[in-house]
A and B are shown apart, each in its own frame.
Chain A
Amino acid sequence: MNSSPAIEPDAPDLVCQLDNVQGMVDALTCVRWKRHQDALVELSEHGIVLIVEESGCLQAKVYLQRELFTKYEYGAEGRPRFGISLGLLVDCLNTFSSPGHSNTIEIKYPGPDMELLLKSVDTLNSCIYSEIRTRIPETSEWDYNFEQAGTVPLTFTVKSAALKEAIDDLEWPGSSVQISLQMSPPCVTFRGEGHGDLQIDFMYYANTDLLLAFHCDTEVSYRYKYKFLKATTANIPGNVARENRGSKLTIGRGGMLKVQHLVSVSKPLAPQVDSAGYQPPSRIAYIEFFVKPEETA
């Protein structure tokens, strides 16, 4: 195994190891909606959070909790943050997950020139290494304060695969999609208008296998730009559908939409797990999207 040079001025902020790179690639790919995207990474004793943003209207966060890692040594004071190219990070990580190599990597920050260092571990006579340049993050905070709209959260949980399919289908009518929640009968409606219109209803009582949960004490309806809505489901990894997971959507104050997915980061098991596909919660990466509604004219 290769180790870093003998003289180390300071202990790094973070040294962690992950035994399934592909899981991390899947989780990060989920928030990669275009080729060149700047991401902000925040490290803490609890784990790694990666944030991407677009046009002041869409934000996504990937939470990689420390429990996902086989080793997590945090030595920083405060919460170090750095900017990085998401595309490069994903492309580099993807190289580590090539078959024939051990799937375990070590992630270290910072390197001698504030780089993010990746290297494969536990492979005999071969290794992969990567150093990715980081940036000083912008000081302005992205303002996506999500607050509950009323006393009861306005929320529903839908099968991730069904949500993706619905949003994919809404592509043709036009540039914006209206999401409405109504109480009686309990129902979620996605409606796209433009070149023709398309309406997709998830009826709580009729589609209990698709609409898994529904909480609503007041009728709401907001419009969202299609391209931002699309970004929330476009790159959900295949295992989310295979494991039959659900996505939770919540509408907050002012119509801010929160979309949450769960992505498995565990090592694929040799014999197929049973159809329930139960995995301990610690092996899940949490993905959150925040979408601002369109201004009402």
Chain B
Amino acid sequence: MKFKAFLTENGVNLLEKRFLPAFDKMGKTCHLFLTKDHLFFLHNLLNGDGVQCIAQFRIDLLFDDYRVSSQNDDRIAFSLDVSLLYRAVKSSVSICTEFSGGLASNRLQIKLVKKLPPNCTQPMPFLTFETKGYKSAVIQDVPISKPLSRSQVVELQTALDSAQDLPPTLVQVQDPSQLQNFVDRMKHVGDVLNVTISKHGDLQVQISTTLVRLGSEFQRLSVIGEKSQAPAEDRNLSAQARSERAIARGDAQSVQVSVKHFSKSLQCHLTKPDSAFYGIAPQGACLTVIFQFMVPGTRQTDKSISLHCRLPVLDPGSN
């Protein structure tokens, strides 16, 4: 089992400035899954009932000289502490910039190693970052879990495949910060968020308790997938009445998610997506948020990065 690569400048920037800060907020540990073509960061895919977060990078976006080999179809997966990884990348970057004097030749190498830590009899696996300066080299070892077994990798791959299902209707939120501000302030009022998405392009988030109902509705969002025209007679109704009628007609779906989970998924905005799409999986299985990244300077989707979250749906009786 071998993995060795050099991080590209763009790759370092993407990880250090955008993705690792977001992953750090998503949860303490995550799985890193390396294949011949892609690198995945996977949160909560195998365990737990928290927010699943799936990030996929094409190898050439992050790495030069990428070499991965294993007896399991050249796939390697392990889990690690995201904050340690983030710290190692940050400090490697600062060493690079400090000692290279701006020379691009100074590259950051990342590889999988087994080492014998002090006071241990068993060698342990590490993800090692090696920065070569002008006169010195700095090596940082991030401890990782034992690589996943063949059956565990299959399990991870299956979970990953099943997490790729697209909701039938997706609505596009162009300015996610507005939603974030709103949900941040809403948190104080209740724990359970009702999310309603209609084929007319309406997204409604609402907290409802015995004492208060507080909600926000975004209308006329772009719709991908199944869409329909809102009936004219609904136009003058309240947000609440409109969504109730749309659900009754089968034009909208509603699920309940934890405010905490929703707020956590909004942390993905640290990755600076160009927009976000919200949709409800068939049978209300989960709330899916897909983040879209554009090729810089264009209006074309950057297919080398993909990021999406799946929020578990609460049992309506459980609140």
Indicate, yes or no, whether A interacts with B: yes
- The answer for the CA separation of A29 and B197 in the assembled complex, in Å, is 34
Determine if B229 is an interface residue (Cβ-Cβ < 8 Å): no
User: Bound state CA distance, A97 and B175, in angstroms?
Assistant: 17
Q: Which of A91, A98, A129 contacts B181 (CB 8 A)?
A: A98
> A95 to B186, Cβ gap below 8 A?
yes
A98–B239 touching, CB < 8 Å: no
Known: A92-B189, A95-B182. A4 touches B238 (CB 8 A): yes
Within B180-196, which residues are at the interface with A (CB < 8 Å)? 181-182, 184-186, 188-189
A6 within 8 A of B: yes
| Beta-carbon contact of B189 and A126 below 8 Å | no
Closest to B218 in A: A126
Q: Which residues of B contact A127 (CB under 8 A)?
A: 216-217, 219, 239
A133 & B212 in contact (Cβ 8 Å cutoff): yes
Whether the Cβ atoms of B182 and A130 lie closer than 8 Å is no
Chain B interface, DSSP helix/strand/loop, else mixed: mixed
Contact A133–B182 (Cβ < 8 Å): no
A5 B241 Cβ-Cβ under 8 A: yes
Q: How far is the CA of A2 from the CA of B204 in the complex (A)?
A: 14
* A88 B212 Cβ-Cβ under 8 A: yes
Could you tell me the distance between the alpha carbons of A2 and B241 in the complex, rounded to whole angstroms?
10
User: CB of A162 within 8 A of chain B?
Assistant: no
Q: Which among A92, A94, A125 is the interface contact of B220 at CB below 8 angstroms?
A: A125
- When distances are taken between beta carbons in the complex, the residues of chain B under 8 Å from A2 are 236-239
Q: Does B210 interact with chain A (Cβ within 8 Å)?
A: yes
Decide: A91 and B188 in contact? CB cutoff 8 A. yes
B248 on the A face (CB < 8 A): no
Give CA–CA (A166, B218) in the complex, Å. 47
Q: Is A200 an interface residue (CB 8 A)?
A: no
B33 to chain A, nearest CB (A): 37
| Pair A92/B212 contact, Cβ less than 8 Å | yes
A88, A95, A129: the one contacting B238 at CB < 8 Å is A129
B211, B215, B238: the one within 8 Å of A133 (CB): B211
Contact status B181-A100, CB under 8 Å: yes
Q: Does A245 contact B (CB under 8 A)?
A: no
Residue on A nearest B189 in the bound complex, by CB: A91
Are B212 and A99 in touch, CB under 8 angstroms?
A: no
Q: Are B210 and A133 in contact (CB under 8 A)?
A: yes
- Can you list 13 contacts pairing A with B, beta carbon distance less than 8 Å? A3-B238, A5-B237, A88-B212, A92-B189, A92-B212, A92-B214, A98-B178, A98-B181, A99-B181, A126-B217, A129-B216, A129-B217, A129-B238
